[in-house]
C-alpha cells in the first residue's frame, strides 16, 4: 500500500527568541526540518506535503532547496494541529493509502518506528498514535488506553483530570491513518477545549465513537525529543552527536577522542577510517575506507578517497576532491579543486579552483591566486610536477606534466611540460652594506634616547 507524509512546520517557535523560523535552526549542519524530511523519506512516501505558516517566506525556499518536489501549503491562521493538517488534505486528492503526520521540530523519529506504525495500521487499526513513557510527563498529552493496547482517547494536559495527569504514557503527536478516513475524521473535529483550537488528537475519540479501532505504539523517548528552545536545540545536538559517534565506531571507524569529533546529518565515514581529535565534518562530506584524518581539521562538502592522509589543521572546503593516497598536511586549505592520486600538499598552502595531477608535489607556502576581485579563474597542474616553496600561481594558468617551478616564483604564464619556470627578481649582493646600514640605524636610535 502507498504511503504519504504530512509534515507540520507552521509553528511560530517563539521560545527560540529568534528572527529565524524554528524549523530552519541548524542541527548537525542541517535545518531541523531536514531531519524530519529524512525520517519521512525512510518510508518511501509517494507524496510529502509540508504545512508552513509563520516565516513561510524563509521556510518555503529552504524546503525547495532541500527537495523541489515537495508539496507546500500554508496555514495562514494558527488554529491548532487539526486545522494545520486540514490545509494539507486537498494535496492528497486522488491518493489512496496511508498517511503519517510528522513534525518539523521533532528530528529523531526512527524509520523502524514509522514502519511499525504502518504495520499496525495495515493489521487493522484505523488510527495509530505514537507515544512514549515518561516519569515526568508535564505538559504532554496523555494516551488513555484500555490496558490491552486499544487507544481510547488523547487528552491534552490542560484538559486532563488529576487521574489522567497521573498517566505516564504520553502523546508525541505522530499519527498514522488512512487518507480518506483522515479527511472524514477531521471534518468532525471541533474547538471545545481550553485553547479553543482544532486538536488533531481528537480524531482518536471520534474514531472510537464510530466503532473503529485506535492503537498506541510506544517508542524510546529519545526519538520524541522536540526542539522548542535553544536549550532543546543544544540537547538535540548532543544527542545527535552521541548517536553519530557510536554509529561511526560500530561501522568500523576509529575515533581516538570521540567526544571531540563532530558529524553532520549526511556525513559518510567508511570502514577502517582513523579520525584524530577535534575534527569537524560539515555537510556533504564522504570519507572512504582506509583514509586517515589527523586532528584539528575542518571539512565541508568534500570527498576523501581511500588511503588519503589529511591533517593536522587542514581545511577542505566545498568542491575539494582527494583521490587515493593523496597527502594534505598542516595548515593547507583546498577549495573546489581535484587532487589526483598520490599528490602531496604538505605544508602551509592554498589550492583553489584547480586540478592537481597525480604525484605532483606542492611546496610550503605555495598558493593558487584564483580570484581577481571579480571572477574566479582555474589552474591546471599536470602530473609529477614540482611546485617550489612560496610560489604564487596566478590563474588562469596551465602547468604541464613534470614541470618544475622554482621557489619564490610568481608565475603568470603557462609552463610547458618538462620546463623549469623561474619568475623572480634577480638577486644582487652589496658587500658591506648591511653592516654600514645597521650601524647607521643604531646611531639614530641612540640619538633619540634621552641621556
Instruction: List active site positions.
Output: 347
Count CB atoms within 10 A of the CB of residue 447.
7
Q: Whose CA is closest to 275, among 308, 253, 298, 259?
A: 253
β-sheet bridge partners, residue 410 = 392
The whole-angstrom separation of Cα 236 and Cα 106 is 10
Cell 595548515 belongs to which residue?
331
Amino acid at each position: 500500500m502507498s504511503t504519504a507524509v504530512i509534515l507540520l512546520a507552521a509553528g511560530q517557535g517563539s521560545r527560540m527568541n529568534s528572527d529565524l523560523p524554528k524549523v530552519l535552526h541548524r542541527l548537525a549542519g542541517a535545518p531541523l526540518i531536514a531531519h524530519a524530511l529524512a525520517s519521512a523519506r525512510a518510508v518511501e512516501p509517494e507524496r510529502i506535503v509540508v504545512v508552513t505558516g509563520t516565516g513561510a517566506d524563509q521556510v518555503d525556499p529552504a524546503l525547495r532547496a532541500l527537495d523541489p518536489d515537495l508539496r507546500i501549503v500554508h496555514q495562514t491562521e494558527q488554529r491548532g494541529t487539526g486545522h494545520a493538517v486540514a490545509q494539507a488534505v486537498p494535496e492528497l486528492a486522488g491518493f489512496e493509502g496511508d498517511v503519517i503526520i510528522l513534525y518539523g521540530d521533532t528530528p529523531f523519529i526512527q524509520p523502524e518506528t514509522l514502519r511499525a506504525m504502518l504495520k499496525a495500521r495495515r493489521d487493522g487499526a484505523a488510527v495509530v498514535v505514537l507515544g512514549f513513557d515518561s516519569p515526568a510527563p508535564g505538559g504532554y498529552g496523555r494516551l488513555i488506553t484500555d490496558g490491552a493496547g486499544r487507544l481510547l482517547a488523547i487528552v491534552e494536559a490542560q484538559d486532563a483530570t488529576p487521574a489522567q495527569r497521573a498517566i505516564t504514557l504520553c502523546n508525541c503527536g505522530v499519527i498514522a491513518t488512512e487518507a480518506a478516513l483522515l479527511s472524514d475524521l477531521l471534518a468532525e473535529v471541533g474547538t471545545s477545549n481550553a485553547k479553543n483550537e482544532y486538536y488533531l488528537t481528537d480524531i482518536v475519540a471520534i474514531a472510537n465513537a464510530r466503532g473503529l479501532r485506535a492503537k498506541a505504539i510506544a517508542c524510546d523517548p529519545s526519538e520524541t525529543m522536540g526542539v522548542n528552545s535553544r536549550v532543546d536545540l543544544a540537547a538535540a545536538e548532543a544527542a545527535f552527536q552521541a548517536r553519530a559517534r557510536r554509529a561511526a565506531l560500530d561501522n568500523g571507524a576509529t575515533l581516538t577522542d570521540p567526544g571531540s569529533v563532530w558529524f553532520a546529518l549526511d556525513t559518510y565515514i567508511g570502514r577502517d577510517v582513523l579520525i584524530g581529535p577535534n575534527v569537524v565534518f560539515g555537510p556533504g562530506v564522504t570519507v572512504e575506507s582506509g583514509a586517515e584524518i589527523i586532528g584539528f581539521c575542518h571539512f565541508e562538502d568534500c570527498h576523501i578517497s581511500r588511503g588519503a592522509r589529511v591533517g593536522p589543521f587542514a581545511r577542505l572546503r566545498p568542491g575539494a576532491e582527494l583521490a587515493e593516497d593523496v597527502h594534505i598536511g598542516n595548515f593547507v586549505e583546498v577549495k573546489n579543486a581535484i587532487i589526483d592520486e598520490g599528490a602531496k600538499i604538505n605544508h602551509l598552502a592554498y589550492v583553489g579552483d584547480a586540478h592537481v595531477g597525480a604525484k605532483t608535489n606542492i611546496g610550503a607556502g605555495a598558493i593558487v591566486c584564483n580570484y581577481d576581485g571579480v571572477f574566479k579563474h582555474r589552474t591546471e597542474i599536470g602530473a609529477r610536477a614540482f611546485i617550489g616553496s612560496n610560489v604564487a600561481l596566478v590563474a588562469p594558468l596551465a602547468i604541464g606534466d613534470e614541470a618544475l617551478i622554482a621557489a619564490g616564483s610568481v608565475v603568470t604564464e603557462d609552463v610547458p611540460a618538462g620546463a623549469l619556470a623561474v619568475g623572480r627578481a634577480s638577486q644582487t649582493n652589496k658587500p658591506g652594506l648591511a653592516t654600514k646600514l645597521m650601524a647607521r640605524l643604531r646611531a639614530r636610535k641612540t640619538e633619540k634616547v634621552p641621556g
